[in-house]
Amino acid sequence: MEECLVEYFRTQMRTDPDMASAVAAIRTLLEFLRRDKGETILGLRESLKWATDCLTEVDSSVAVSSGGELFLRFISLTSLEHQDLSRCKKVMEERGELFLEKISLSRTKVAKLCHTFIKDGAKILTHSSSRVVLRVLEKAAAEKKRFTVYVTESQPDTAGKQMADALRRLNVPVTVVLDAAVGYVLEKVDLVIVGAEGVVESGGIINKIGTYQMAVCSKAHNKPFYVVAESFKFVRLYPLNQQDVPDRFKYKADTLRTVSDLSDEHPMIDYTPPSLITLLFTDLGVLTPSAVSDELIKLYL
The residue type of 221 is H
From the CB of 42, what's the least distance to other proteins, in Å?
23
**CB half-sphere exposure, 148, CA atoms < 13 A:** 11
DSSP-assigned states of every residue in 246-285: -HHHHS-HHHHHH-S-GGGSPPSEEEE-GGG--EEEETTE
Binding mask 181-220 for other proteins (x = CB under 8 A): --------------------xxx-----------------
From the CB of 251, what's the least distance to other proteins, in Å?
18
In this complex, which beta carbon is closest to other proteins, that of residue 254 or of residue 294? 294
CA 58 vs CA 3, 9, 12: distances in Å = 11, 9, 13
Binding mask 247-276 for other proteins (x = CB under 8 A): ---------------------------xx-
Specify the DSSP element, H or E, that contains 199.
Answer: strand 198-199
Distance of CA 1 to the CA centre of its chain: 27
In this complex, which beta carbon is closest to other proteins, that of residue 126 or of residue 282? 282
From the CB of 236, what's the least distance to other proteins, in Å?
8
CA–CA gap between residue 192 and residue 149 (Å, rounded): 10
In this complex, which beta carbon is closest to other proteins, that of residue 40 or of residue 290? 290
Helices (H), 155-210: 159-169, 182-185
Any contact of residue 154 with other proteins (CB under 8 A)? Answer: no
- In the range 223-242, which residues lie near other proteins by CB under 8 A? 238, 240-241
Q: Taking a C-beta distance cutoff of 8 angstroms, is the pair 28, 58 a contact?
A: no
In this complex, which beta carbon is closest to other proteins, that of residue 118 or of residue 280? 280
**CB half-sphere exposure, 51, CA atoms < 13 A:** 30
CA–CA gap between residue 22 and residue 220 (Å, rounded): 34
Any contact of residue 68 with other proteins (CB under 8 A)? Answer: no
Q: How many residues does the chain have?
A: 301
End-to-end CA distance of the chain: 32
The correct pick among 7, 53, 120, 244 for binding other proteins (CB under 8 A) is: 244
From the CB of 269, what's the least distance to other proteins, in Å?
19
In this complex, which beta carbon is closest to other proteins, that of residue 204 or of residue 210? 204
In this complex, which beta carbon is closest to other proteins, that of residue 9 or of residue 225? 225
Binding mask 275-294 for other proteins (x = CB under 8 A): x--------------x--xx
In this complex, which beta carbon is closest to other proteins, that of residue 132 or of residue 284? 284
Q: How many residues bind other proteins (CB under 8 A)?
A: 15
Q: Where along the sequence are the contacts to other proteins (CB under 8 A)? A: 201-203, 238, 240-241, 243-244, 274-275, 290, 293-294, 297, 301
